Chains A and B, each alone.
Chain A
């Protein structure tokens, strides 16, 4: 559409100004704060160079948090993606009523993590539903949320409850793009179901898979709510993730500078995946 050069900028100004104030500028401010030892209280902000970052890697709790994020990442990509795909394939069959099952599976996605955390804490309580159930088979009390070696996996399990349906949605949308003639053609050629899946459907789902994987990675790296609501990262930070540790350092211990440094590390790690995602978007743009 033609017009004076400033016309599009006039339209963009209101959203762009708000976006800059609340999103873009803060990114740079956090970068700046990560080089200071601001405590959130003092009026003066002292520049301390890289010492926050140096301290991070000597801080056993940060290392635990980072390592836990790796577990989340593996859990999300290795379970949520294939799980979502499997359930999508299964429910995509054209039987009457399959839509009802899909809707029911979507339900966890509509819930807040606070609610999800609360629901799962009754499952995972020492005397909770899961242990009471296992007890029927003579299995002794397991500390799902209290055993430092288990707790992170319990949290990932609760998060997957919502994440798998999300991956499923992405794959169901992808499956819609697979022309049924193609699948039928494979039938005519006599391909069995597995061959059909691997050689016809899966290649067609490539874009959906890329989206599902990147989204899951980005989500796994910014996991916060469920950890904070269920364990606050405890016991003694054994279930902490970077996002949660950052919050605790910045807002509970009031080490804003140190917290900012954690956020920056988290940002840098995520950045790579953000770039992959954006390149994907750009490519779609150009196509």
Chain B
């Protein structure tokens, strides 16, 4: 607490020196689902209480719109002062174009005072910090405990058990796996996990870095395993017309039993269902390959063209504080990025435990891949889910895209 008040005092002093009253601070946020939206608004209120001099405006955008609009904002002369974003390649892309403000004066030397050392590489580009993590979470196969209980199913550990579980669910009249691929990225979760379980993390990271052809035997194998589930009819039909939330509804209403999803699925679950939602680690496919996980980090950045950078930095310092991180994480059941905040609840402890016991982590396919390649890749995954037999032509086209994007000349 002392550190925190010190920070507040410092912030005040800083303000009085430059002598601004009622500085504006404009934050653009993608937290559009009701639960995170509310928690973030409260967090901003806490900031306002500490810094009454700031005139804070939060603009909220639907998640999918936000992703496409961010580039426009970063380029415009009246860019927002703070934006929510993702760590890793998706942040670096903008940093490399000079569109982000380095945060070295705030976090250069004390980044590790706040956050685990492992987060540093995901937050920097060329040795400069550009990103302040707020929270992180895990991915897992979410399932309805009550359905599993009713059918006497145990949580599957291996691929073979997983398929058996799907088969039993299907026979009992449930949709084994729900997914909404209208906005593509949900399919990338499947690709990540299958590739990590079959080929391991090194291979997967090379692939997302554009160093492995999509026509490689290893990649083909991923699609063979994926095809087993598709051909057996375990995925929900017409998934291309659902957003991830609409697909989650099938899980919440008890028509579907499982959903490979990030922890934030709890944000949209109705109250009476939340406690019936459990999750398990994505099944093991090859016993010789380590257990790797997707652990995306969410946070904030400051556009290079922001007009109120000082205010923005004060805000980011507040965001990094233990109090702010604890508040946000505990209300949403996520893991705080600040290392002095413990996991907020049982489910989060279980998630943290799973990550700590894993052999390595990555962000997410579209956070570790060049954005153009990611779009092409995710479209291809969805196309494959609809037309599994076209796998060869899909991968060939994807490889053509990779060669163009990474300027590989044969």
Q: Which A residues contact B (CB, under 8 angstroms)? A: 40-42, 55, 58, 60-61, 125-126, 141, 143-148, 231-232, 234-237, 251-255
Whether A236 contacts B71 by the Cβ 8 Å rule is no
A235 to B74, CA, bound (A): 29
Q: What does DSSP make chain B's interface, helix, strand, loop or mixed? A: helix
Q: Which B residues contact A (CB, under 8 angstroms)? A: 68, 71-72, 74-75, 97, 99, 181-182, 184, 237-242, 371-372, 375, 379-380, 382-383, 386-387, 397, 400, 404
The listed residue (B74, B75, B238, B387) touching A146 by CB distance below 8 A is B238
Given A146-B239, A235-B383, A236-B383, also A251-B72 (CB < 8 A): yes
CB nearest to B241 among chain A residues = A146
A153 to B371, CA, bound (A): 31
Whether B372 contacts A234 by the Cβ 8 Å rule is no
Whether A254 contacts B380 by the Cβ 8 Å rule is no
Whether A146 contacts B240 by the Cβ 8 Å rule is yes
What chain A residues lie within 8 Å of B386 (beta carbons)?
148, 235-236
Given A42-B97, A236-B382, also A253-B372 (CB < 8 A): yes
Given contacts A58-B400, A125-B241, 20 further A-B contacts (CB under 8 A): A41-B71, A41-B99, A126-B237, A126-B241, A143-B241, A145-B241, A146-B240, A148-B387, A231-B182, A234-B184, A235-B241, A235-B386, A236-B240, A236-B379, A236-B382, A237-B379, A251-B68, A252-B68, A253-B372, A255-B372
A251 to B372, CA, bound (A): 12
The listed residue (A61, A143, A231, A234) touching B237 by CB distance below 8 A is A143
What chain A residues lie within 8 Å of B239 (beta carbons)?
146
How distant is B186 from chain A, measured CB to nearest CB, in Å? 13
Whether B238 contacts A143 by the Cβ 8 Å rule is yes
How distant is B313 from chain A, measured CB to nearest CB, in Å? 24
A61 to B184, CA, bound (A): 16
How distant is B99 from chain A, measured CB to nearest CB, in Å? 7
A94 to B341, CA, bound (A): 78
A125 to B241, CA, bound (A): 7
A23 to B404, CA, bound (A): 33
How distant is A108 from chain B, measured CB to nearest CB, in Å? 23
Whether B397 contacts A126 by the Cβ 8 Å rule is no
| Residue among A61, A147, A254 facing the most chain B CB atoms (10 A cut-off) | A254
How distant is A142 from chain B, measured CB to nearest CB, in Å? 9
How distant is A147 from chain B, measured CB to nearest CB, in Å? 8
A237 to B371, CA, bound (A): 17
What chain B residues lie within 8 Å of A60 (beta carbons)?
397
What chain B residues lie within 8 Å of A147 (beta carbons)?
238
The listed residue (B72, B182, B397) touching A234 by CB distance below 8 A is B182
Whether B237 contacts A141 by the Cβ 8 Å rule is yes
- In the A-B complex, the 4 residue pairs with the closest CB atoms: A235-B240, A146-B241, A146-B238, A236-B383
A247 to B42, CA, bound (A): 36
Q: List 21 A-B contacts (CB under 8 A).
A: A41-B74, A42-B97, A61-B379, A126-B237, A143-B238, A143-B241, A148-B240, A148-B387, A231-B182, A234-B182, A234-B184, A234-B382, A235-B241, A235-B382, A236-B240, A236-B379, A236-B382, A253-B371, A253-B372, A253-B375, A255-B372
Whether A254 contacts B241 by the Cβ 8 Å rule is no
CB nearest to B249 among chain A residues = A127
CB nearest to B372 among chain A residues = A253
What chain B residues lie within 8 Å of A235 (beta carbons)?
181-182, 240-241, 382-383, 386
What chain A residues lie within 8 Å of B382 (beta carbons)?
234-236
A125 to B68, CA, bound (A): 25
What chain B residues lie within 8 Å of A40 (beta carbons)?
71, 75
A147 to B237, CA, bound (A): 10
